[in-house]
Structure 1
Amino acid sequence: MDWDDLKIFLAIARDGQILGAARRLALNHATVARRLDRLELTLGERLFLRRSGGCELTAAGTALLPRAERVEAELLAAEAIARSAGGQLSGTVRIGAPDGFGTAFLAPRLWRLLDGQPRLTLQLVPVARAFSLSRREADLAITVEKPDQGRLVSRKLVTYGLGLYAARAYLASHGEPSDAEALARHRLIGHVEDLVYSRSLHYAEDAGLRWQADYEISSAVGQVEAVAAGGGIGILHHFMARGRADLQRLLPEIEITRTYWLVSHQSTANPAAVRHVADGIRDLVNDERAVFA
């Protein structure tokens, strides 16, 4: 069995389309289709059902997928070891993170993990979405829920708090709510409901608040900026809002807590580099754990 053909199989399985796999691998569509045909002929099994909307794994393809991922991980690990002669790490590690944690906390600090590692590249992808580690969308992911499916390794990173905040200028014009019921008389800022990618982001519901947002923003960082500009009252992360002189905490009895998890795949492609970055992220958080409370 040719490893190049297995790479084709993995790319199609992860993208769901031959055309998308071709783009991912920088090959043309015909080459990808031909190599898939060759692999299926070698195995004597159909690996995908090819439909107009994409490719769906067959039972044989589903059985092959974890084995192909293990082969990929072993080969990439061997390449990483060969590149890391002399004790230096090499390669690229991509970290997927929620936009708030990724932009406000990791982005100003993550570069420290490059010290002494001139052959290592870090990619930080701070966006409000879930990442698939099995599809190699990231090597590490910070998640807001502990994954319960897939061959993933999850470690608790930190528990963080959120509360109600408003700009001092907004409160000067609209007054300060005396209790939770009074929030209905204020302009509220929250998530775009149909873009919420995790149940744990329903902060208001879990806090027992009747929260009908007038201004919906899918980014936690965007919500902080909108609140700071006087746009209304929002439920903000303490580690982003607490230190800002232009923001005031409201109704401190309303406290919401959540947990960030640090997640990797069992068959990570570059284990030494991924382990270095994972340990480094934990150290960065532990050094400033108090800001999350």
Structure 2
Amino acid sequence: MNWDDLHILAVLEREGSLAGAARALGVNHATVSRRITALEDALGHAVVRRLARSTPLTEKGREIAAIARDMEQNAQRIKRISNATQGTLTGRVRLTAPPVLVSEIIIPALRDLRAQHPGLQIVLSANSHIASLDSGQADLAVRMVEPQGKQNIIRRIGSVEFALYATPDIAELPPQQWHFIAFDETLAHVPQQCWLEEFADGRPLDLLTGDFHSQFAAARSGLGVALLPCVMAEPCRELVRIAAGQPEARLVWMVIHADLKHAPAVRAVADVLVDAIGAM
């Protein structure tokens, strides 16, 4: 049996389709299908049902995938323990954070760390989704939602304030004539979007995007009033802050897997995050 094929089965169960597993693994669809077939030949059992539009796991496949998930988690733990025993600031640290914090705070703050420790490689992922530390997607994470999980080290490290911004000509219009730039339906649940909808009170939200960088660009282009992170919009000379109320600040949390809390490289990156985000 090729143990890598068990890993592919675990990913297939997690992603729900051959195409999803292929994307997660960075291979093509045919490779996943071929490795699953090889696993079935080695086991002597079918682990998936090949239907026209889906590839669900059989009962035996689900049972084996559960064991494979445990193997995957143990392999990730071995890697974390190995990283934690390194006494020098070398190796790779994987960090995930919301895009606006990555571009405005984290990247500028990493310059000195990189200069001091050129052997340290930082894999930086700017994602709004919650990356899993247990599955090895990240070594540490910055989140704007309070994290859960007893096996993780969780620390509140700062907050992000929001305010309304627009170009001067739009800001001078009567408030009843304002048009708003907002999130699309994928982020309709976030607190600042809920606040903006209530503040708009029937006035049009006529430009919807899925991220702050698009909203920032739209506001700079004079397309409406946007609720933006102050750390992003305040330095921009093309925008003015509209003194018309603002939502509560969003708390920022840092999460480190417990197995890595003593790893020098991870601790060094964590210290940079605490200083940079706390300074906001």
Alignment TM class, shorter chain as reference: 0.7 to 0.9
More deviation in 155-164 or 20-29? 20-29
SS of 2:145's equivalent in the other structure is coil
1:145–1:198: 8 Å Cα contact kept in structure 2? Answer: no
Corresponding residue for residue 95 of structure 1: 95
Counterpart-to-counterpart distance in 1, 2:104 and 2:115: 21
Cα pair distance change 1:219/1:57, threshold 3 Å: farther
Among 79, 82, 90, the residue aligned to 1:76: 79
Cα distance in 2 for partners of 1:264, 1:105 equals 19
Alignment correspondent of 2:186: 195
1:8 — aligned with what?
8
1:37 alignment counterpart: 40
Contact 1:131/1:138 (8 A) holds in 2:
yes
Going from structure 1 to structure 2, the CA distance change for 1:223 and 1:257 (only over 3 Å counts) comes to same
Match of 1:53 in 2: 54
Structure 2 residue aligned with 1:240: 232
The one-character-per-residue Cα deviations of 1:145-181 (angstroms, maximum 9, x if unpaired) are 113469654322312211111112433xxx244xxxx
Structure 1, unaligned runs of 5 or more: none
Provide the C-alpha distance between the structure 1 equivalents of 2:121 and 2:221, rounded to a whole number of angstroms. Answer: 36
Amino acid of the residue matched to residue 224 of structure 1? F
TM-aligned CA distance change 1:36 to 1:22, over 3 Å: farther
The equivalent of 1:260 in structure 2 is: 252
SS at match of 2:271: helix
Structure 1 residues 214, 244: closer, same or farther in 2, change over 3 A? same
Report the residue type matching 1:123 in the other structure: V
TM-score of the pair, normalised by structure 2: 0.76
Paired AA for residue 131 in structure 1: A
Q: How many residues align?
A: 273
Q: Structure 1 length normalisation: TM-score?
A: 0.73
User: What SS is found at the alignment partner of 1:215?
Assistant: strand
C-alpha distance in 1, partners of 2:132/2:237? 38
| Identity value in percent | 22
DSSP-derived class of the 1:190 partner: strand
State whether residues 7 and 69 of structure 2, in contact with CA within 8 Å, keep that contact through their aligned partners in structure 1. Answer: no
The 5-angstrom pairing of residues 151-166 of structure 1 reads: 152-166=152-166
Change (3 A) 1:96 1:31: same
CA distance in 2, matches of 1:39, 1:266: 36
AA aligned to 1:155 is R
1:206-227 Cα shifts (integer Å, max 9, x gaps): 8654253111122212212221
Alignment of structure 1 residues 215-226 onto 2, 5 Å = 215-226=207-218
Q: 1:102 to 1:185 in 2, by over 3 A?
A: same
TM superposition shift of 1:237: 1.0
Question: How far is 1:9 from its partner?
Answer: 3.8
1:275–1:55: structure 2 CA closer, same or farther, 3 Å change rule? farther
2-side partners of 1:215 and 1:2: how far apart? 51
Residues 191-247 of structure 1: CA deviation (Å, up to 9, x unaligned)? 11x221753342425865425311112221221222122222111111112222322
Counterparts of 2:63 and 2:225, CA distance in 1: 53
Distance in 1, Cα, partners of 2:188 & 2:11: 24
Cα distance in structure 1, aligned partners of 2:265 and 2:246: 41
Secondary structure in structure 2 of the residue aligned to 1:256: coil
**What's the secondary structure of 1:131's corresponding residue?**
coil
Write out the 4+ residue segments of structure 1 that deviate beyond 6 Å after TM superposition.
46-50
Note the C-alpha offset of 1:271: 5.3
